[in-house]
Amino acid sequence: TINEQNPDVENEVTKNYITVGFSQLGAESDWRSTNTESMLDAFSQENGYNLIYKNGQQKQSNQITAIRMFIQQEVDYIVLAPAMETGWDSVLGEAKEAGIPVIIVDRRVDVADKNLYSCWVGSDFELEGKKVAAWLKAFTEKRGISADDIHIVNIQGTIGSTAQIGRSRGLANAARANGWDILDEVSGDFTETKGREVMASFLRKYDNVNVVYCENDNEAIGAIEAIENAGKKVGADITNGEIMVVSFDGVNQEAINYAKEGKIACIAECNPHHGPRVSSLIKTLNSGGIPDKFNYVSEKLYSSFDDISEIVVDGSTYTIDELE
């Protein structure tokens, strides 16, 4: 399974190379595996790095242990892809005390002292949520579907992670503003198995679900299976019995195929290719420069339905692309 992939890596140490300790949070999704590959590629010996990679297996305590080990090993830089936002103050304080710069990647950390880390690079998760919600609003209005007829369930990501917090907030605010009914929200931990289980239980509990907001593609794949197993149809005709699935990432090939078929109606891209970005931040720091504190990656919105060609969120226009 995905969770057994990405074992720990410790390269032979070469003198004069930059030594990086990378604590990855786990291997819960295809996005995560692609992200790990991007990081391992960027921090290769050919690129002048000694890498110590630790897979946190979804446990913050494992990540804290890994960071303490990196400090003991006197690495030059610590890179942290945190499972959740809170709980990092002490260990990042220890890294600062040891004089080791920390770069945060993907999700964010919520620490009282922002100087505990040098910089962050990743996605604007709330914007991703707002984009999917804006697409849903534009699409349903175009098809003459009333807000009163929209009944949503949210299969959330790992609770307390920036990806979950931002995407859930994007939906909640849009639902409030548009008068949509959110029937329920339960975490699917960004996995296919939990996505399937959570969707099956939603279908047993509610007979009027017609939109499933999945906080990543692996959950969406599981949800589609649960919907079809229950003898229901996935699609965009939501006032005639079909259930619409919307999602995030755009990395997993099965999900991309579903999006092409219209089974996933809309996907907000979440870009996993952070390896070269983190490497470039380290190069800046290493040459005495000060990179921007927060570095956002720009991302697309995908749908195969051509009812609408663009949406506007917070004054910016986003065109809707087709997945290739």
Which residues of this chain interact with ligand AHR, rule CB under 6 A? 28-29, 31-32, 106-107, 163, 190, 216, 248-249, 270
Shortest separation between residue 61's beta carbon and ligand AHR, angstroms: 19
Q: How far is the CB of 152 from ligand AHR (least distance, A)?
A: 19
Q: How far is the CB of 87 from ligand AHR (least distance, A)?
A: 16
Distance in Å, CB of 110 to ligand AHR, minimum: 15
Closest to ligand AHR by CB, 19 or 164 = 164
Least separation in angstroms between residue 94's CB and ligand AHR is 24
CB of 248 to ligand AHR, least distance (A): 5
Q: Residue 4 or 46: which CB sits closer to ligand AHR? A: 4
Closer of 22 and 248 to ligand AHR (Cβ): 248
Q: Which residue has the tokens 């991703």?
A: 128
Based on CB atoms, which residue is closest to ligand AHR, 48 or 160? 160
- Whichever of 165 and 203 has its CB closer to ligand AHR, that residue is 165
What distance in Å separates the CA atoms of residue 242 and residue 265, rounded to the nearest whole number?
12
Give whichever of 6 and 19 is closer to ligand AHR, judged by the CB atom.
Answer: 6
- SS3 for the chain is CHHHCCCCEECCCCCCCEEEEEEECCCCCHHHHHHHHHHHHHCCHHHCEEEEEEECCCCHHHHHHHHHHHHHCCCCEEEECCCCCCCCHHHHHHHHHCCCCEEEECCCCCCCCHHHCCEEEECCHHHHHHHHHHHHHHHHHHCCCCHHHCEEEEEECCCCCHHHHHHHHHHHHHHHHHCCEEEEEEECCCCHHHHHHHHHHHHHHCCCCCEEEECCHHHHHHHHHHHHHCCCCECCCCCCCCEEEEEEECCCHHHHHHHHHCCEEEEEECCCCCHHHHHHHHHHHHCCCCCCCEEECCCCEECCCCCCCEEEECCEEEEEECCC
- Give min distance, CB of 58 to ligand AHR, in A: 10
- Of 163 and 301, nearer to ligand AHR (C-beta) is 163
